[in-house]
Structure 1
């Protein structure tokens, strides 16, 4: 199968009216019928984005939260779920309506220096996250297979890069969908240990929280790992990739007859993807609360530490599931982190981009992708303290998210960007509420840090 992009008669990137060759309405009615018969066909960018949210950095954050605070922190996930849906839906809608990624959308109303600043923030957060995730994956592999963790980290980085460059996009998306199943390892961990389910449900519905630096930092880290900038950029970019991949699809600004079906698909895909993400996060917090917190292991800050601490408490099965889950989720998250950074940078410098393009037609894009992965690998083997790297990458994401989220919400509500398909009021409210929550969390962290 060729990776060459499917040519389009026109796109929203060039503007204009309905393109020549827009499929007739009966094509879309047939697609509607197929989607009703195969509901899982609606799951794609949103599902992969939600699953990638539970990367090794996220696992470290949830593990520390469960070990440090016990079941009482589970309620933060109910709070973050609608906020995640709101901001991710705004991002995805920008991509599907305009046929542009977020960098291109921001350029419609932001000065170039501001767009450059947002891209730089994303790139900084992503390469730190890449390094932290690779470090955790290497440590997990070393614990299971033995040998130096750094070599495993390098191997995972190279393997992920080769898959992105040489595997046809359509097949690669299927690989990513299958990798989402690795998250069920954490469901298995929960059922391999003794959980106080009444306490877990109380923590979910009635969370307990103490106002101190450690607890505030943990909650900010949870927010930063569930609502991260790379997820906004990735989901919007993948909607653009899907427009290129599917012959009859067009940006909704130039093919409004597709809006009903596509916007419904976006809502289902995003709601399911974010729900799946937070459900797995709940199982991670529950597993570590039931084992580590219950046995006094409250200072767990990395995935490797969490897996090692589980072994004497919960047995070999829980340890192995936890460690293998780190590797599987890492392989899912690496292309999301590197791909979203490469897509943003390539858009800013105006070079051809897209995972659907072969190497010969997008050398600069794949060069940026390789550079991001190489920096991540270098961070992972540089001796940077993994305890700090994993946890603080989530905190960095939380702080960086705020200006990016403001730009996303302005773009989603702008007629200049979206035409007549601006974000509806209820989704605007959720998106701006998510932005306000992230700003408040970052401010709270600043306050407790200087006290």
Structure 2
């Protein structure tokens, strides 16, 4: 059965396996959510609180799946990226403020991710980590600027395979599965303020603003690359197949993301927490701590996973910032455009990534910087999600892509939970 969304004129496309055709923006977005900074958060959660915190990943799955599907719908329905839609329907200062904060948070995340990747290579083969940081940073920029869009998307899809390293890690260690299952399905409400700080960090890691912007932008990119697709506001007949594809892509991507996160938490709980190692400050430190308690194999594949997921996440972070700023400034944007047609877009992408590289050469504490990045992400996520919910029910913007009642309920629930999480993070930081 063909999965290409049909225009009103009959167009026959070459047959491809259904899953390969369907999976795209949602899969890449979900996989990029498990970046080295996220790995550090999940490792710390498992090391500090063991299996008692795994239930949070079951909670976040439906919330992130719905919010990311809404982001994808907005791009596919309107033919505009998220920043473009917001700029068109809200006062300019709203999007300008969001873009400034998003840019700030993304640069810090890029710096932290590149630093973790450099440290991971150093752990495996030795040498100066800063050299690896520079190599990774420039490699990400060069691929985005000079590689053809279709090939680049293919590379990102292949990089998602690196996350299977964490399934290998969890299978390589001795896990008390009955205890792990109990922690997953029976919520634990620990009165320790540190427990709730970690819960808030997990929410902020799994539901991040840059993911919204990236997925919406990739849906718009696909409209340009696939001539049978038209924005749903102009082609309502395409809506059933388009929305079914977006849902499948997003659910698979977010489920994959959360399963990887769960594997990391379980690995840390079964090894680090079980052996009294409860303080993990970075993903590379988590890999190093695994070595004496879980062996060389678990250490190696955990460290290799950091490199692979970093190569996936850094371009998404830089790209989402460039899409957002470019749409606000009304520049030509898109990775499918040649560099000479989108100079400002590619310059923004390059500046964001290389600023992240530069961050690793400053005396700024990356762990503290990452904390403030998480705070900014948590604060920015709430208004962005609220705006998305307002847009997603507007027929004049979404056409047949407007969301049903049940998605409205879940979306506003996710927004409310993120608002509470942002308030809790602020309160806990003052304690």
TM-score range, shorter chain: over 0.9
Deviation at 1:34, TM superposition (A): 4.9
Structure 2: how far apart are the matches of 1:192 and 1:178? Answer: 23
2:212 is the counterpart of 1:232: yes
Deviation at 1:295, TM superposition (A): 0.4
Would you say the 8 A contact 2:232–2:399 is kept in 1?
no
2:353 is the counterpart of 1:373: yes
Would you say the 8 A contact 1:66–1:286 is kept in 2?
yes
Deviation at 1:207, TM superposition (A): 2.8
How big is each residue's C-alpha offset from its partner over 1:94-134, in whole Å with a ceiling of 9 and x where there is no partner? 00001000111112321011110111121111111111111
5 Å-filtered alignment, 1:99-114, equals 99-114=79-94
- Aligned partner of 2:8 in structure 1 is 24
Structure 2: how far apart are the matches of 1:202 and 1:157? Answer: 41
Structure 1: how far apart are the matches of 2:84 and 2:55? Answer: 36
Would you say the 8 A contact 1:65–1:218 is kept in 2?
yes
Size of the aligned set, in residue pairs, is 426
5 Å-filtered alignment, 1:284-299, equals 284-299=264-279
Structure 2: how far apart are the matches of 1:442 and 1:390? Answer: 15
- Aligned partner of 1:205 in structure 2 is 185
- Aligned partner of 1:18 in structure 2 is none
| Greater than 6 Å deviation, 4+ residue runs | none
2:55 is the counterpart of 1:75: yes
Would you say the 8 A contact 2:7–2:238 is kept in 1?
no
Would you say the 8 A contact 1:43–1:269 is kept in 2?
yes
Deviation at 1:374, TM superposition (A): 1.3
Q: TM-score, normalised by structure 2?
A: 0.95
2:337 is the counterpart of 1:331: no
Structure 1: how far apart are the matches of 2:376 and 2:193? Answer: 16
Would you say the 8 A contact 1:140–1:324 is kept in 2?
yes
Would you say the 8 A contact 1:63–1:303 is kept in 2?
yes
Q: TM-score, normalised by structure 1?
A: 0.91
Structure 2: how far apart are the matches of 1:270 and 1:376? Answer: 28
Against the structure 1 CA distance between its residues 24 and 109, is the aligned structure 2 distance closer, same or farther, given a 3 Å change threshold? closer
Most deviating of 276-285 and 216-225: 216-225
Secondary structure, in 3 states, of the residue corresponding to 1:419? Answer: helix
Would you say the 8 A contact 1:83–1:430 is kept in 2?
yes
- Aligned partner of 1:217 in structure 2 is 197
Would you say the 8 A contact 1:57–1:391 is kept in 2?
no
Secondary structure, in 3 states, of the residue corresponding to 2:70? Answer: helix
Secondary structure, in 3 states, of the residue corresponding to 2:334? Answer: coil
Structure 2: how far apart are the matches of 1:301 and 1:396? Answer: 19
2:24 is the counterpart of 1:44: yes
Would you say the 8 A contact 2:239–2:400 is kept in 1?
no
Would you say the 8 A contact 2:31–2:256 is kept in 1?
yes
Structure 1: how far apart are the matches of 2:211 and 2:371? Answer: 18
- Aligned partner of 1:138 in structure 2 is 118
- Aligned partner of 1:116 in structure 2 is 96
Structure 2: how far apart are the matches of 1:382 and 1:362? Answer: 31
Structure 1: how far apart are the matches of 2:392 and 2:236? Answer: 16
Deviation at 1:392, TM superposition (A): 4.8
- Aligned partner of 1:305 in structure 2 is 285
- Aligned partner of 2:3 in structure 1 is none
Most deviating of 54-63 and 252-261: 252-261
Secondary structure, in 3 states, of the residue corresponding to 2:200? Answer: helix
- Aligned partner of 2:295 in structure 1 is 315
- Aligned partner of 1:341 in structure 2 is 321
Structure 2: how far apart are the matches of 1:250 and 1:393? Answer: 36
